[in-house]
Amino acid sequence: MPLQNIKVIAFDADDTLWVNETFFRKAEEDFCALLEGYMPKEEANKLLFDMEIGNLPLYGYGIKPFTLSLIEAAIVVSKGTMPIELVQKLIDIGKEMLEAPVELIDGIEITLKELSKKYRLVMATKGDLLDQERKLIKSGLEKYFHHIEIVSDKTEKHYKKLVKHLDIQENEFLMVGNSLKSDILPVLNIGAHAFHIPFHTTWAHEMINEEINHPNFRSFTKASDLLQVL
């Protein structure tokens, strides 16, 4: 469908507006290092991933749920024998992530500034409400967005609800994000547009194996490339 129909552009937050996954990878490495006396790194890392996935329906996405998973995984790895000092170190990992400075993705601010002159811009992300609001304020990007949507997950149902709330048709909506699983496929499935800007690190849970071939889909190298077509 022609891009001329687009009225609203939604941007994912983590790893689309600012760096995020890098902090999780470092936290996983720190976790494995702290538990190396109990279990080899690869086994500990897999156990942590399985713990995160198992906890998603209960805790959702974000740093605080991740920190809980760190502690739970450590209990399993150590068979309940880890000292209380280790629990504190795991909590400190989570706090360090929450307090980390916000590092904007290259070119994203100028892209938002230019696009906001022609379109309504929305930030549509999943995760912890408090954490995402904090990062948005620290980023300095809040002024470019007409609406902020923070949800527990990104599904076709969530996107349909957002489109209805914005009082537009599906083909007037464009989603921009780094996750094919969360930002692209469900959006294409409802008849909207989706632009993919990959980030160099992607959580395994967000990866898909299928190739996307859809008239409403495009992939770009960097955010500023959007200005060439919008």
Strand order in the sheet with 193-196: 147-151, 120-126, 8-11, 173-177, 193-196, 217-219
Q: What is the pLDDT at residue 111?
A: 97
In this structure, are residues 174 and 10 in contact, taking their beta carbons and an 8 Å threshold?
yes
Q: What is the pLDDT at residue 203?
A: 47
Letter string b/e over residues 157-167, b meaning 16 or more CB atoms within 10 A of that residue's CB: ebbbebbeebe
Task: Tell me which residues of the chain have a pLDDT lower than 70.
Answer: 1-2, 200-209
Identity of the amino acid at 53 = I
Q: What is the pLDDT at residue 129?
A: 86
- Residue count (the chain): 230
Report the run of H or E that residue 11 belongs to, with start and end: strand 8-11
Q: What is the pLDDT at residue 207?
A: 55
Q: What is the C-alpha to C-alpha distance for residues 41 and 205, in angstroms, rounded to an integer?
A: 19
> Tokens 């969530």 map to which residue?
158
In this structure, are residues 90 and 66 in contact, taking their beta carbons and an 8 Å threshold?
no
In this structure, are residues 47 and 5 in contact, taking their beta carbons and an 8 Å threshold?
no
Q: What is the pLDDT at residue 226?
A: 95
In this structure, are residues 196 and 217 in contact, taking their beta carbons and an 8 Å threshold?
yes
Q: Comparing C-alpha atoms, which of 171, 111, 124, 115 is closest to residue 152? A: 124
Q: Comparing C-alpha atoms, which of 152, 161, 183 is closest to residue 58? A: 152
Q: What is the pLDDT at residue 205?
A: 47
Q: What is the pLDDT at residue 123?
A: 96
In this structure, are residues 72 and 55 in contact, taking their beta carbons and an 8 Å threshold?
yes
Q: What is the pLDDT at residue 200?
A: 65
Q: What is the C-alpha to C-alpha distance for residues 81 and 74, in angstroms, rounded to an integer?
A: 9
What's this model's pTM, rounded to 2 decimal places?
Answer: 0.88
Angle value at C-alpha 131, between 76 and 31, nearest 5 degrees: 25
